[in-house]
Structure 1
Amino acid sequence: MQPQPERSRNRRRIRPRRVAALASVSALTLAVSASAGTGHLAPGGTAAGAGPVAALDRSSTLGPCLINGHPAVQMSEGIPTPGGYARSTGTVRALTVMVDFPDAPGQGKAMDRFHEFFPQTRKWFRTSSYGRLDYRPSTPIQDWLRMPKAFLDYGIDRGAPFDPGYRELVQDIIAAADAKVDFRDYDLLNVLVTPNAGPSALDTVLSVTFAGNADAPVADGVPVANASFVYSRQDDGSGTYDRTGYRVLPHENGHVFGLPDLYTQEGGGAVGHWDIMSEDWGANNDLLGWHKWKLGWLDAGQISCASGTGTAEFTLTPLARPGGRKLVFVPLDARTGYALELRTREGNDEAVCRPGILVYRVDADIDTGMGPVTVFDSREDSGGCTRSPNVHAELSDATFTPGETFKDPARKISVEVASADVSGTYRVRVTRG
């Protein structure tokens, strides 16, 4: 049984709204053995997926918080991220091609399709990483890249990694692009498929990422190990697509950097809109602080490991702002722990409707898409505080505010939100019995 938060104030009940088909529209990740392969399309490239985290000594003060899962876990939340994924710090070059088919010719100009995602995706990563990821999309081929076979003939479905249809598609992309592209020059591949190929995203989302896959087809002597495919437009008819439709790509690219899916079969119910790896429809949202540490966007000095007994007090600054302490982690064992961070309505977190301390459990022993992260709701069954399209409303007011306490009686752990000041920083007290 999961520990329940203790609430000391009355809850305001808000009528729940129906969220559009979150379970059926979540994008799928197909990941294979993340410990193999290259983190770069070029030979000798380095997989800096975990950035500075990889250099941490487990005997350091943060050592007890470097949780890890079993090697068989797909896309574990453990730190550091294993090799095989694309780099997530410094300059990252994303080869981006726009693809169409004889039975689904590209509609309009190929570069119009490109501009559905850029420069928004580049800006999103720059903001989320505090400038530590310089994401550079490249389009050496600016026309539609026509495949030799009809889309239906490839049999594209939500199947296994590089099943025969996908393998053939990737091989055909490589062959069609080879004269103009040296794949060794890039860290990852984006394939933007013409939206009229395949079903509507309202029916099923085919968008998929192959990450850390050393068994991928080879181009210019290197496996195309980290590749994201985007199909139909994630347009729910609410009129927000121009502002939010690009977000499927940073979600998919999150996988090439080693991040798992946080949604479950029930949709966004475990994490809601607190991480783009949970929900990528609707209004903007950022990554969890745990993921920013995992990607090397936070320094060791911005993390506190609350592993000792007794009471300790910490000051947290808003996750959206550069500088300051961002994350307090309370390890439970070598695999799991509680994370605390301050979320406010700024930066990529424009959908935050109740600023406060987000408390969530991270389990490095749970596979991608099976619920490796669980957010604890300070106001269960409230209906939430947002009406943004395609946002899981129930967890939108999950944060804890001054005077509220999260408790895990079985482990004798409590987190009290002590205060907030005019600068926007919060003080939290963590007690371990």
Structure 2
Amino acid sequence: MPWTSRRIRPRRAAALVFVTTLTLAVSTSAGTERLAPGATTAGPIAVARSDAHDACLISGGPAVQMSEGLPTPGGYSRSTGTVRALTLMIDFSDAPGSGPALDRFREFFPQTQDWFRTSSYGRLDYRPEAPITDWLRMPKSFRAYGIERGAPFDPGYRRLVQDIVTAADPQVDFRSYDFLNVLVTPNAGPSALDTVLSVSFAGNPDAPVADGVPVANASFVYSRQDDGSGSYAQTGYRVLPHENGHVFGLPDLYTQAGGSAVGHWDIMSEDWGANNDLLGWHKWKLGWLDAAQVNCVTEHGTSEYTLTPLARAGLGTKLLFVPLGSRTGYAVELRTREGNDETVCRPGVLVYKVDADVDTGRGPVRVYDSRRNSGGCTRSPNVHAELSDASFTVGEEFRDPGQGVRVRVEGEDGDGDYRVRVTRE
């Protein structure tokens, strides 16, 4: 059965429905080297690993929707090498496109390309292609499709996808692309400040077929997602990297209370407003970290590690993971003000719990706040401010007495790396 979630912004309510069907095939190809430009692989990339990582490959039950477990199941788009994103701009008789369709394209590109290039350390070569440069008119009015909250399994939504395929097929070979972006004219439906209709098909083998292949991974973006600050031109594109995160197999991290579980530390939690990156767990899940950059902390006792900033390309430890069993564990990483994390207002060590047995949109990740009830350190509109200063700095310690886990930040060196001491009793 499809599952429905609702996103609530900290200041304005905005509904987002995300529905997905998971396939059970597991990707088995693994690699730790940078892929050359133009290199491609089939399906999601398995995480780079060695035998020492086995205990950290947590997994959820078979009924979990878009589990945070490793590896990502088959059916999603690959997330390393070259990916080609078919991008179509569509309009309707009751919502005709305003201005050139390519202006809509430019709202998202090249910003989305640049965001993924930076986040992946150059391992994802994202190529948006718009073979149809005009608005693609749908045969029915927007109202006739009955789309309200972006549920892709609804009959109206299936009709829309089929109509898109029929309209585009004479000019498009769908077999040539890895996934589909549909940029809907923004005057179709309500403002994103009121209701977010943007949605993704992800890993859905039951999708309509085009040129013999299912349109299994597709992201739809509707009205302009503005955080109310007047900065849409700089930040409005970020809804598309969020939606594309789903076609790569990443779940929603927000909950019914908005971004309160993760805040602004991952674009799968909050995708509006000021820039932010992905968590280290997601970078490992997407194949962007080498095995040597991830330490699986299984030994009892105390161990010391040097963390390099997650946003910084190059060698060094980017992620520590302390497994608490086969389904959950603590992740530890260093977040600093650079790369896609340019608006981090309190650099430091982020500690969060990953639970592979929790559905998308139900809080599969929880960030631990080093300064609870502080009000946070950001003033960006509509950002969940409380967790913006969650990171731990030198001399501070995270403790879980029940699990016998402690993470203490020991120091910072001249290169901006942090020394971290992890204790497992």
Match of residue 325 from structure 2? 333
CA 1:159–1:94 in 2, change beyond 3 Å: closer, same or farther?
closer
Within 5 Å, which residues of 2 pair with 1:132-147? 132-147=123-138
Shift of 1:159: 5.6
For residue 33 of structure 1, the aligned residue among 22, 25, 45 is: 22
Cα contact 1:37–1:225 (8 A) shared by 2: no
Match of residue 3 from structure 1? none
Cα contact 1:192–1:230 (8 A) shared by 2: yes
Cα contact 1:47–1:85 (8 A) shared by 2: no
Match of residue 223 from structure 2? 232
Q: Secondary structure at the match of 2:230?
A: coil
Shift of 1:177: 0.4
Structure 1 alignment gaps of length 5 or more:
1-17, 39-44
Match of residue 3 from structure 2? none
Q: Secondary structure at the match of 1:28?
A: coil
For residue 313 of structure 1, the aligned residue among 304, 316, 324 is: 304
Cα contact 1:51–1:89 (8 A) shared by 2: no
For residue 364 of structure 2, the aligned residue among 348, 369, 372 is: 372
How many aligned residue pairs are there?
A: 404
Cα contact 1:32–1:161 (8 A) shared by 2: no
Match of residue 49 from structure 1? 44
CA 1:90–1:338 in 2, change beyond 3 Å: closer, same or farther?
same
Cα contact 1:34–1:75 (8 A) shared by 2: no
Q: Distance in 1 between matches of 2:76 and 2:276?
A: 23
Pair 1:416-2:411 in alignment = no
Cα contact 1:75–1:368 (8 A) shared by 2: yes
Aligned Cα root-mean-square deviation (Å): 1.5
Shift of 1:65: 0.5
Q: Distance in 2 between matches of 1:423 and 1:267?
A: 35
**1:181-204 per-position Cα deviation (integer Å, ceiling 9, x unaligned):** 000000000000000000111110
Match of residue 149 from structure 2? 158
Q: Secondary structure at the match of 2:18?
A: strand
Q: Distance in 1 between matches of 2:200 and 2:86?
A: 14
CA 1:72–1:277 in 2, change beyond 3 Å: closer, same or farther?
same
CA 1:73–1:288 in 2, change beyond 3 Å: closer, same or farther?
same
Match of residue 66 from structure 2? 75
Match of residue 187 from structure 1? 178
Match of residue 353 from structure 2? 361
Cα contact 1:37–1:212 (8 A) shared by 2: no
**1:94-116 per-position Cα deviation (integer Å, ceiling 9, x unaligned):** 00000000000001110000000
CA 1:159–1:93 in 2, change beyond 3 Å: closer, same or farther?
closer
Q: Distance in 1 between matches of 2:121 and 2:373?
A: 35
Match of residue 14 from structure 1? none
Q: Distance in 1 between matches of 2:147 and 2:136?
A: 17
Cα contact 1:262–1:370 (8 A) shared by 2: yes
Cα contact 1:358–1:400 (8 A) shared by 2: yes
Q: Distance in 1 between matches of 2:84 and 2:203?
A: 16
Pair 1:129-2:120 in alignment = yes
Structure 2 alignment gaps of length 5 or more:
1-8, 28-39
Match of residue 187 from structure 2? 196
Q: Distance in 1 between matches of 2:206 and 2:42?
A: 17
Q: Distance in 2 between matches of 1:46 and 1:215?
A: 22
Q: Distance in 2 between matches of 1:218 and 1:398?
A: 45
Q: Secondary structure at the match of 1:30?
A: coil
Q: Secondary structure at the match of 1:361?
A: strand
Q: Distance in 1 between matches of 2:369 and 2:207?
A: 41
Q: Distance in 1 between matches of 2:336 and 2:263?
A: 15
**1:319-359 per-position Cα deviation (integer Å, ceiling 9, x unaligned):** 01112110000000000000000000100001200000000
- Higher normalized contact order (CA 8 Å, seq sep 6+, divided by chain length): 1
Shift of 1:28: 3.1
Cα contact 2:132–2:171 (8 A) shared by 1: yes
Cα contact 1:263–1:369 (8 A) shared by 2: yes
Cα contact 1:86–1:187 (8 A) shared by 2: yes
**1:7-47 per-position Cα deviation (integer Å, ceiling 9, x unaligned):** xxxxxxxxxxx9432xx336432111233699xxxxxx954
Question: Which AA in structure 2 matches 1:179?
Answer: P
For residue 390 of structure 2, the aligned residue among 363, 380, 398 is: 398
Alignment TM-score, normalising by the size of structure 1: 0.91
Q: Secondary structure at the match of 1:253?
A: helix
Match of residue 5 from structure 1? none
Q: Distance in 2 between matches of 1:167 and 1:108?
A: 27
**1:301-323 per-position Cα deviation (integer Å, ceiling 9, x unaligned):** 00001111000001000001112
Question: Which AA in structure 2 matches 1:272?
Answer: G
Cα contact 1:317–1:424 (8 A) shared by 2: yes
Question: Which AA in structure 2 matches 1:383?
Answer: G
**1:258-278 per-position Cα deviation (integer Å, ceiling 9, x unaligned):** 000000010000000000000
Shift of 1:84: 0.5
Cα contact 1:37–1:213 (8 A) shared by 2: no
Cα contact 1:29–1:255 (8 A) shared by 2: no
